[in-house]
Structure 1
Amino acid sequence: MRKSFLALAASAAFVLAAPVVMAADYIVDGPAIVKAANWDAMETVTIELEDFSYSPQDLKLKAGQPYRLVIKNSGEKDHYYTAADFFKNVAWRKVQTPKPSGAEIKAPYFNAVEVYKDGGTAELFLVPVTKGEYEVHCTIDDHKDKGMHGTITIE
């Protein structure tokens, strides 16, 4: 019985510690960066998700500049905007969907955003931090192979 309890306790400790290890890969001082950003100077960039492409396919953003990325799905299929490495290297303010039936989500990081077909929209409010080139692609079925991929560069 004691061995079972110790094994359970060790498993619980690992599970509870795992997110902390994963979170270390993300921007630690994100809230301070977001708070210090000049949101009045925010730039809006619209990204169209079509069947089977992104427009623009390649995106260039400036480190330290606040952005509102408006991701619109004009296609007839649901699509993902998956950019896990890019999303780890930005400070997040929020993700929201348009009103009146919209929502606002605040979290320290995201991995992907799914935008539903026929006009679904998601708005990402963020500040790029770490310079580099990052891959973005759709993870649904063979969408990436059909051309639904690109790059996001933080300069």
Structure 2
Amino acid sequence: MKIRVGNGYDVHRLEEGRKLILCGVEVPHDKGLLGHSDADVATHALIDALLGAAGLGDIGSHFPDTDPAYKGIYSIQLLEHTAALLKKEGWSVENVDLIIVAQKPKLLPYFPAMREKLAQALKIGPEQVNIKGKTEEKLGFTGRMEGMKAYAVALLLGQ
């Protein structure tokens, strides 16, 4: 059996007039993340971790922001596509772990729904998905509430 680990990172600017979508869940906030898709920073980091673990490049090579097909797309659809690609290549997701870095809003109440949403997209159990929230103690662009970032790690198993 093969074991592979991948990590991912993403960052998006906060803008007024956008919905805040994290791990496929809409989180009430006065700003949302700016991007070509729904700008789900956490799901994007996770996709990069999964693709990296499988040696399949990165999110930009599979879903370029220059392609109008991905304009405004719900990032969970991109995650589902990634999961199907992993399965086709002979990989299964053992577990994933994410860190969402945001000064506000408080994310803990949304973690159960986020875990469920990611688990459904990956066709794994919610116990295989872990999500943590961190602030940066008002330091840097996240501390000034100019944007959010996310880190992800994924463990894949293959034959």
Give your verdict on TM over 0.5. no
* TM-score normalised by L of structure 2: 0.29
* TM-score normalised by L of structure 1: 0.29
Between Structure 1 and Structure 2, which shows a larger proportion of strand residues? 1
Greater gyration radius: 1
Q: Which has the higher contact order (CA 8 A, sep 6+)?
A: 2
Between Structure 1 and Structure 2, which shows a larger proportion of helix residues? 2
